[in-house]
Amino acid sequence: MAKKSVELSGVVVARTEICSIDPDQGILRYRGYDIADLAENATYEEVAYLLLEGELPSSDQLEAFREELAARELPPAVVAIVDGRAREASPMETLRTAVSALSFDDPDEGATDRESERRKAASLIAQLPTIVARYHRRRLGRGAVAPDPSLSYAENFLTMLRGEAPTAEEVRAFDVAMILHAEHEMNASTFTARVVAGTHADMHSAVVAAICALKGPIHGGANLAAMEMFEEFGSADAVGDAIRGRLEAKKTLHGLGHPLYRALDPRAPILQALAQQLANENGNEPKWYAIAEAVQREAHEQKGLWANVDLYGGVVYRYLGIPNDMFPALFACSRVVGWAAHVLEQHADNRIIRPSAEYVGPEPRAFPVRAGS
Amino acid sequence: MAKKSVELSGVVVARTEICSIDPDQGILRYRGYDIADLAENATYEEVAYLLLEGELPSSDQLEAFREELAARELPPAVVAIVDGRAREASPMETLRTAVSALSFDDPDEGATDRESERRKAASLIAQLPTIVARYHRRRLGRGAVAPDPSLSYAENFLTMLRGEAPTAEEVRAFDVAMILHAEHEMNASTFTARVVAGTHADMHSAVVAAICALKGPIHGGANLAAMEMFEEFGSADAVGDAIRGRLEAKKTLHGLGHPLYRALDPRAPILQALAQQLANENGNEPKWYAIAEAVQREAHEQKGLWANVDLYGGVVYRYLGIPNDMFPALFACSRVVGWAAHVLEQHADNRIIRPSAEYVGPEPRAFPVRAGS
């Protein structure tokens, strides 16, 4: 949508080796690897290792990391929080609270040495999906599906969410969606994690704070908003007029435009291809893909707007049977890798992040004399 | 101590009407009122109202606000979190988790209109002390003291912490300490709250994230570190040599120096006077005040350092019978007012805060061909 003014936009707040964005060519790279290359060739586990450690794992390193990521069970205190409120609480307040409670059972709560933080990072990556899936099952009044350490990250996560084994195509689509959302430079939640880490707070605190930022609808809620917009449009035929109407009314067009990319967000065509594949699978409604595609075409023709990561992301999740209001929580499960990588980087050479404000308030004034005093 | 390099130091990230700092003259003002004037004449309730609303309350407004702040009871879900872990968990992880869980019972969770956020702010100011005091009592194996809505903020808080009525002098000292910690411009936790609010996340999320930042020892842990340093020194006579030793070893001197003030932090002499008053009260050990005073004198003589808010803050709390590791949680109870005021201000004219990073990582590279593929 029309570019919003962004505070600190373009102001460099950190040096990073994790991620780079070429806004003109529309290239996103994790540690030097093109996101399209990773989406085609890597698994989420490999990408998570790459982001945390800086290099792709050897087969032995990958095996050991998979074992770390298979420790997916939740401690009883966290289960109690999720089960206690699942019917009434929102996904993101539950995730925020449950992740905060994970530190209760951390063997060295508060420790910020690299080895501890690297261990905490793997734990968080492993446990967040269990929280999200358990919450989702419990609010439907269904039994939670225990995590299966023999499954890949993506297959286990989808199985826990849905209570039945996904197809290989579904697993791959979900895995790629997780890869594409894992990291995106100095976005608001990642910046939050770095500001918190800058006070030398611990990994759990930084990740909880990042979840707080992602809870904001204009950060973590964009693919949810795009899907709701598609539901409002109802059919691909209605899209042209609907877009015109929204543009005239100066209403936001979700899933379009980006403060950084000047052309196509490189994640959009990858998700588009996955959405297109899934559109004709058993029981999936082709219209959601058709609507998203029409939105992309009409928004470009009518206003020169380009698709971003959120245009097809929600369609992929819809085809995987995941309800709209879970999208931000899935985003958190993926992005926790990027947050953790930035916390490790921040703590490797820590400096507190403490900006200034321009005071525009009242002039100096004296406390009034009290009546009777 | 030597000034640490601070990222974003001096970079203006927001315009604010809440607080101003004159670093040369050493003046801190809330909404135009000198902190010394407020410490002498106002109560914490009045200061909280001033920070949130922009003006001091009329007597009717103050009465209504006091009623809001008297709703101090915790919902059962929060009680369960505090009681369940009080013996093992740290104060700040408990506070972080319990405050996050407060939103479960918020009547319009996630709402960000001003009226809702103003109500949530009062609730948080009212309920944080109950969490902190309950945690403290339970970990000592003692019964929690129910909040008393007829008492002032400070008297109720001290009573809940200690299980017995404080003296009028103790209440006033605690009230002033709360006033002095309530707000300090764009510090790391307040900035965190604003970055989170910038995504249009809600008041609870912004406050939870701010607690995460305050948990960092170099932000919320400074008066605790100062008190531990005094314990290490042991007596006022030992201070001169101990300071010399620390300076030679380039070890941090806690409670001294400030990234903003170029002379005395204006909060220091106010806390010093309170500490001095309390030093000779029933059962209090005069040596803590004497050590702090010697540290102030020696650090200035030996290195030209000035006292900051943390030098006497811990001594005041020690004299009020509060253990060191609770200091950061007390800081949060006070500072929640400033955080909330900044969230209200951010949301009055919201823009997402999304800076940039300078990429210094690997050059573009291709995903390796897999062995056997």
Q: Write the ipTM.
A: 0.96
A20 CA to chain B: closest CA distance, Å? 6
The yes-or-no answer on residue B219 being catalytic is yes
Query: Given this model, what pLDDT does residue A326 score?
Result: 97
Residues of chain B with pLDDT under 70: 1-5, 371-373
Give A130-164 pLDDT, tens digit per residue.
Answer: 999 999 999 999 999 999 999 999 999 999 999 99
Nearest to A212 among B7, B209, B219 (CB): B209
What chain A residue is nearest to B76 in terms of C-alpha separation?
A84
List the domains of chain B with CATH numbers: 19-216+325-348 (1.10.580.10), 222-319 (1.10.230.10)
pLDDT of residue A5: 57
Please name the residues in contact with A227: beta carbons below 8 A apart, sequence gap of 6 or more.
Answer: A288, A314, A315, A317, A318, A324, A327
Q: Mutating which of A22, A56, A96 best tests the B interface, going by the most B Cβ atoms within 10 A?
A: A96
Q: What is the pLDDT of residue A73?
A: 98
Residue A4: is its pLDDT beyond 60?
Answer: no
Chain A closest CA to B371's CA: distance in Å? 10
pLDDT at A349: 92
Q: Are A298 and A253 in contact (CB under 8 A)?
A: no
Distance (Å) of CA B123 to CA A136, B65, B73, B327: 29, 11, 10, 21
- For the segment A310-339, the average pLDDT, to the nearest whole number, is 97
Terminal-to-terminal C-alpha distance of chain A: 58
pLDDT at B371: 63
* Residues counted in chain B: 373
A24 burial type by CB count under 10 A (0-12 exposed, 13-18 middle, 19+ buried): exposed
Q: Give pLDDT, residue B3.
A: 40
Query: Which pLDDT score, from 0 to 100, does residue A8 have?
Result: 83
What is residue B1's predicted lDDT score, i.e. its pLDDT? 38
Nearest residue, CB atoms, B213 vs list A14, A18, A196: A196
Q: For residues B72 and B53, give the distance between their C-alpha atoms in angstroms, rounded to a whole number.
A: 21
Interchain CB distance below 8 Å, A188 and B209:
no
Asked if A258 is an active-site residue, the reply is: yes
Distance of CA B322 to the CA centre of its chain: 15
End-to-end CA distance of chain B: 59
pLDDT exceeds 90 at position A39: yes
A258, A265, A342, A347: the active-site residue: A258
The predicted-structure confidence for A273-321, as pLDDT tens digits, reads as follows 999 999 988 789 999 999 999 999 999 999 999 999 999 999 999 999 9
